């Protein structure tokens, strides 16, 4: 009788965490990269923070503790996917360094590759993009706790890649990230 394997024996998966301010371009880059990886025959899943907040993290607010819980939940899902040969692309703000470090450490303890990408778009550029209208709502006093404006964003000190998304196209950003994945044998 065969013993079930705990881990997938297909191509290795990994978690690619894209962190940055709201409207920095994280999700756009993730989808651009996902298309490329799929075209290469990779199994890919984009774990968008907003989508997961409405389901797996439904009911959580935006306090420090709730943001930490949200990040750790997404990190667990990404780890499980990566453990099973999926490239998990995670465009999630994750504003606190210790939350990101906890996700990285969990991946390391499971020997799952983890790549942290800082999408380093300045707040003034994000404010003009304002994809979801958050900056306008914050300026109007309708919301508070907007990351990078009236709530902290701790810039990653040593990301695996820093992308200046405001100085290049999403395709160029995805190309730079794809190159890092290739270097590491993940693409």
107 phi and psi, to 5 degrees?
A: -65, -45
Residue 60 lies in a domain: yes
CA–CA dist 186, 6 (Å, integer)? 20
pLDDT at 50: 86
Q: Is 128 annotated as a binding residue?
A: no
Per residue in 145-171, pLDDT (tens digit) is 999 999 999 999 999 999 999 999 999
Per residue in 17-44, pLDDT (tens digit) is 999 999 999 999 999 999 999 999 999 9
Residues of the chain with pLDDT under 50: 1-5, 7-8
Domain around 105: 14-181
Residue 2 lies in a domain: no
Q: Is 26 annotated as a binding residue?
A: yes
Q: Is 20 annotated as a binding residue?
A: yes
pLDDT at 10: 63
Q: Is 49 annotated as a binding residue?
A: no
CATH of the domain at 58: 3.40.50.300
Residue 7 lies in a domain: no
Q: Is 23 annotated as a binding residue?
A: yes
Residue 3 lies in a domain: no
Tokens of 44: 């890919």
pTM, 2 dp:
0.92
CA–CA dist 61, 22 (Å, integer)? 16
Distance of CA 108 to the CA centre of its chain: 17
Residue 21 lies in a domain: yes
pLDDT at 79: 97
Residue 147 lies in a domain: yes
Residue 158 lies in a domain: yes
* CB of 3 closer than 8 Å to CB of 129: no
pLDDT at 40: 94
pLDDT at 6: 52
Q: Is 175 annotated as a binding residue?
A: no
pLDDT at 59: 87
pLDDT at 48: 94
Q: Is 47 annotated as a binding residue?
A: no
Residue 115 lies in a domain: yes
Label the pairing between strands 87-91 and 161-163: unpaired
pLDDT at 12: 80
Domain count, the chain: 1
């Amino acid at each position: 009788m065969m013993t079930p394997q705990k881990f997938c024996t297909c191509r290795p998966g990994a978690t690619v965490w894209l962190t940055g301010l709201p409207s920095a371009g994280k999700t756009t880059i993730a989808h651009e990269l996902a298309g490329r990886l799929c075209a290469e025959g990779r199994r890919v899943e984009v774990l968008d923070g907003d989508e997961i907040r409405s389901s797996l993290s439904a009911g959580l607010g935006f306090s420090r503790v709730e943001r930490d819980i949200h990040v750790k939940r997404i990190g667990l899902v990404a780890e499980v996917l990566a453990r099973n040969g999926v490239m998990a692309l995670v465009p999630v703000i994750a504003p606190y360094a210790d939350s990101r470090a906890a996700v990285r450490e969990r991946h390391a303890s499971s020997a799952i590759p983890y790549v942290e990408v800082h999408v380093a778009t300045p707040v003034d550029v994000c404010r003009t993009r304002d994809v979801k209208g958050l900056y306008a709502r914050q300026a109007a006093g309708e919301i508070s706790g907007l990351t990078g404006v009236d709530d902290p964003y701790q810039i990653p000190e040593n990301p695996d890649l820093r992308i200046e998304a405001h100085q290049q196209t999403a395709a160029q950003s995805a190309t730079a990230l794809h190159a890092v994945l290739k270097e590491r044998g993940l693409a």
